[in-house]
Amino acid sequence: MLYGVFSDVHSNLEALGVVLEHFARSGVEAHLCLGDLVGYGPDPDACLDRVRGLKNLSVIAGNHDLAVVGHLDLDWFNQYARAAVYWTREQLSPENRRFLSGLTARLETKDFTLAHGSPRNPPEEYLLSAAQFRDNAPLVRAWPLFVGHSHMPLMFRFAAGDPAPVDIVFLGEETAVLPRTPEGGFGPAALNPGSVGQPRDQDRRASCAVFDSEAGTFRVQRLAYDVPATQAKMRAAGLPEYLALRLDYGQ
Ligand SMILES: [Fe+2]
């Protein structure tokens, strides 16, 4: 099965559009969306409409989605993120508000686990260190684990050794091969496809990935999109200028 894996759309319709075109060209059969559909960007309703229409969709909420529907308090959001949350609350259709209200930040199936940030603290923890991967691994029943939230395309896995060190691999556009168990299932690995709508790795192109569950591969793709169009809409909406500017730099 080919899965289109994406996260942190953040209401960026231009970026979402090129990602969904890539998935269609790649022949993906199912979609895994890892949360933060809204927040920061200018098109929350249109992005939700497109994602809700995807076939074979598994989707979880991120911290911004939860904050918009009042399921997470705003204390630890910075002033820019908070301003975007308040603005987004005014934009959502009743159907899209209901859709977001029904999501959780973690989802387990027999084939994989989805968590926006991490299994132990799905809406908030940024999975970025070896220690965090080691601490979260016992909470995962079905590998691979797919995460978002950090906006960085990364893979975590155990290397050979005793005790096994953790490899953290920055994912460029080469094909990453997932670890296997002796029985042929997937071994422990956490995979982050990067962010569709607000990359933070100094590459402003939209980021997403295709997971091939038969071949056991995960391939990140970077896609140019019309950044000035998104920025113009953010300015017209009165969203913070800082949020528009950072799209220029992928930061
Ligand atoms: Fe995010």
Q: Enumerate the β-bridge partners of residue 154.
A: 170, 192
Ligand 1: centre distance to CA 181 (Å): 32
Ligand 1: centre distance to CA 49 (Å): 19
Is residue 76 scored above 90 in pLDDT? no
d(CA 195, CA 5): 10
Is residue 119 scored above 90 in pLDDT? yes
Q: What angle do CA 15, 69, 5 make, to 5 degrees?
A: 35
Ligand 1: centre distance to CA 93 (Å): 21
Ligand 1: centre distance to CA 27 (Å): 26
Quick one: average pLDDT of 85-95? Answer: 98
> What is the dotted CATH code of the domain comprising 2-249?
3.60.21.10
Confidence at residue 25, expressed as pLDDT on a 0 to 100 scale: 98
Residues 6+ apart with CB under 8 A from 226: 14
Ligand 1: centre distance to CA 135 (Å): 22
Name the token pair of 7: 């996260």
Reported as a single tens digit per residue, the pLDDT across 120-143 is 999 999 999 999 999 999 999 999
Name the token pair of 154: 């990364």
Q: Where are the alpha helices (DSSP H) in the chain?
A: 13-26, 44-52, 63-68, 79-91, 94-101, 130-136, 227-237, 241-249
Confidence at residue 233, expressed as pLDDT on a 0 to 100 scale: 98
Ligand 1: centre distance to CA 33 (Å): 12
Ligand 1 being an ion, which residues bring their Cβ within 5 A of it?
8, 36
Ligand 1: centre distance to CA 151 (Å): 6
Give the CA distances from residue 137 to residues 120, 131, 133, in Å, rounded to whole numbers and listed in that order: 9, 10, 6
Reported as a single tens digit per residue, the pLDDT across 177-229 is 999 999 999 999 999 999 999 999 999 999 999 999 999 999 999 999 999 99
Using only the alpha carbons of the chain, give its radius of gyration: 17
Confidence at residue 149, expressed as pLDDT on a 0 to 100 scale: 98
Residue extents of the structural domains in the chain: 2-249
The model's confidence at residue 160, banded by pLDDT at 50, 70 and 90, is confident
Considering the entire predicted model, what is its pTM?
Answer: 0.97
Ligand 1: centre distance to CA 180 (Å): 29
Reported as a single tens digit per residue, the pLDDT across 3-59 is 999 999 999 999 999 999 999 999 999 999 999 999 999 999 999 999 999 999 999
Ligand 1: centre distance to CA 148 (Å): 7
**Which residue type does 81 have?**
A
Is residue 162 scored above 90 in pLDDT? no
Is residue 163 scored above 90 in pLDDT? no
Asked if residues 206 and 21 have their Cβ atoms less than 8 Å apart, the reply is no
Ligand 1: centre distance to CA 60 (Å): 12
